[in-house]
Amino acid sequence: MKVLVKIIIGIVVIFIGYFCFLYFATYSEGVRAGELVKFSSKGVVIKTWEGEISQGVSDSQFFRFSVEDGEKQVIQDLNNMQGYYVKLHYFERYKNLFWLGDTKYFITKVEKTDRKMNK
């Protein structure tokens, strides 16, 4: 019986450690620039904020991103900058966590830019 309890505790500790790694560890950080073409709240049971910027003329040059609910200023800025060229500061998680967003990329800061992209 003691061995079974130790095994269960070990499995729970490993699961919690794995979850904490996925939530807190970042794979990459950076900045992307482009025209903000879409930003909306979506979902039936779990609402998430999703958007995309156009970085060129083809569909392969779209950057899709998510915004966590706690980032109120980022959400407000993105709603106000629809159609403008923006710089998005982001971090990338190792794995997509469905209750936070549809992508692994999460925006932490938005800057409006006057710079036009070459299309």
Tell me the per-residue pLDDT of 61-105, one tens digit each, with 9 for 90 and over.
899 999 999 999 999 999 999 889 999 999 999 988 888 888 999
Round to whole Å and give the CA distance between 103 and 24: 15
Task: Compute φ and ψ for 8, nearest 5 degrees.
Answer: -65, -45
User: Quick one: pLDDT band at residue 115, thresholds 50, 70, 90?
Assistant: low
Round to whole Å and give the CA distance between 45 and 23: 21
Domains of the chain: 28-112 (2.40.50.140)
Identify whether the C-beta of residue 114 lies closer than 8 Å to the C-beta of residue 85.
yes
H helix or E strand, kind and range, residue 17: helix 2-24
Q: What percentage of the chain exceeds 90 in pLDDT?
A: 63
Round to whole Å and give the CA distance between 99 and 64: 16
pTM: 0.81
Tell me the per-residue pLDDT of 48-65, one tens digit each, with 9 for 90 and over.
999 999 987 766 689 999
